[in-house]
A and B are shown apart, each in its own frame.
Chain A
Amino acid sequence: MSENKFQQAELAALLGVIERLAGELSLAEEPARFTAALEEGAPAAGGGGAAGSPGPSR
């Protein structure tokens, strides 16, 4: 397989996965919800280390 054909096949596979899954997305789902998901998924302040501190002032 030539380099070009190989890359095209790789890309087509990736795009196929995206297209298949994107059909399930609701209108409200947007990229910025990723960082919100991180914040919401974090343990309660200090929960992980049991020694939480306020954020740095810098």
Chain B
Amino acid sequence: MPDFSSLAATAAAIRQGKLSPVEVTRHCLDRIARLDGRLRAFITVDADRALVAARRLEEEAGRGQWRGALHGVPLGFKDLCVIRGLPTSCGTRTADYFTAEHECTAVSRLLAAGAVCLGKLNMTELAMGALGDNPHHGDARNPWAVERCTGGSSSGSGVAVAAGLALGAIGTDTGGSIRLPAAACGITGLKPTYGRVSRAGAMALSWSNDHLGPMARTAHDCALMLQAMAGPDPLDATASAHPVDDYVTALDVPVRGLRVGVPRNFFFQGLDVEMEAAVRRAVAVLATLGARVEELRLPDPQVLNDITGLVSRSESTAIHGGLLRERPHELGPFTRARLELGLSVPAHDYLQALRLRARLARTFTREVWSEVDVLAVPVIPEPAPPLRAALEGPLEAIVERQGRFSRLTRPFNGLGLPALSLPCGFSTAGPPLALQLVGRPFDEATVLRLGHAYQRATDWHTREPDLA
């Protein structure tokens, strides 16, 4: 049986001639055909073009021509990334809701590194919502327990990787939308620093809080993908020119002596018992690897959540207000309520929130990164809940549940910091448990190498759901 357990292993097997791009692509397409009817990870499967691309890559490999580290590796892309020849629904009822003059830069860079595009992945409507439901394309289903929510908004990305339908995926994260489905589906997902990956060619939900990033089985896989995705882009003025580290080489730098901070406030309050125990066990593993674990108190993360929330509401309504005005009946009640709220945010308060965000980013750097190198916190407050129950009741209750599920990820959107979600156990009811590692701005290398060290010491990331 060929090794499809990770993107890195598959890429290495292709490079060694043990696997061919066509063989790997067929493997993924076969699994999609067999499983996606019930998992609903994909909105559009691009099977024919995937096989054409795989054959071309196979011929090139036969001639010793390698495009990059991802040569022949099949990936899926969230359906808000513009890809030539494919519709971009953004999870709405409208197949071509979003168009752009250029293909999504992050997708183009992954394809240039040799990746094969399998198609477009399911997501919540307009990338709003933390649970993974979609009224137009069907609710994505958690491979570990199909009645449980997948996390959102990059629901299809989480499901596709967890179920082995794709070896990696692009997700986007405005309030947790990479890390929540990564946590709920038991995979690894990285929200990079704000500006580390170009947003060009991807639908915006909130210009100030949107991040694109990799979702895959391991930190090593995410490093390989980020290496291809990161860097400045003339098509995105917010894409940073900050030097790009060699993330893959950095994985093997020892973690001994790294200072890992565990917050006393906010992040461990009101947690599910199993979640807290699993995260604290994971921190203990980091200590056995030589990390120096220290407790500390953080500047109030709830203030960050409030500020980030106000900015996101205002910007998302500015971007998608046309749909709200012209075709409100096409929107689900949660999306409509979120967009309506943005109409009432005064410009004055929006700008004050942006000014406060800048201040809080400086405060956080001064008070936290002077003490520790990485923060270790939970991603989600509880294992993925049953989806139907989470969507029951009045809108007020649903909004409250969504906010609670993403309360531990949103602070790092406001701060723009790199944050990695990785599996650290399973609850007795079945769904995965997850650890979040957060680093300094543009220090994805340290976050990824600590995650990699943890995954070399544990095997949670190697577990696979029973989908027979």
Contacts and interface: CB of A to CB of B under 8 A. Distances in A.
Interface residues of A, number: 44
Nearest to B354: A31
B441 A15 contact: no
Contacts of A53: 243-246
Nearest to B252: A51
A48 B240 contact: no
Interface string A32-51: 11111111111101111111
Contacts of A42: 193, 242, 440-443
A50 B353 CA distance: 35
Contacts of A1: 396
Interface residues of B, number: 61
Interface in A1-56: 1, 3, 6-8, 10-11, 13-15, 17-19, 21-22, 25, 29-43, 45-56
Contacts of A34: 208, 354, 357-358, 361, 416
Contacts of A25: 352, 355-356, 359
Interface in B251-295: 253
B357 A31 contact: yes
Interface stretch (B86-94, B343-351, B383-391): B343-351
Contact of A41 (B231, B345, B352, B369): B369
Given A21-B356, A41-B361, 20 more contacts: A1-B396, A6-B399, A13-B306, A14-B313, A17-B303, A21-B352, A22-B352, A31-B358, A34-B354, A36-B358, A39-B242, A39-B442, A41-B365, A43-B443, A48-B443, A48-B445, A49-B245, A49-B446, A55-B244, A56-B231
12 contacts: A3-B395, A21-B303, A22-B356, A32-B358, A33-B362, A35-B240, A39-B240, A41-B441, A42-B440, A48-B250, A49-B449, A58-B232
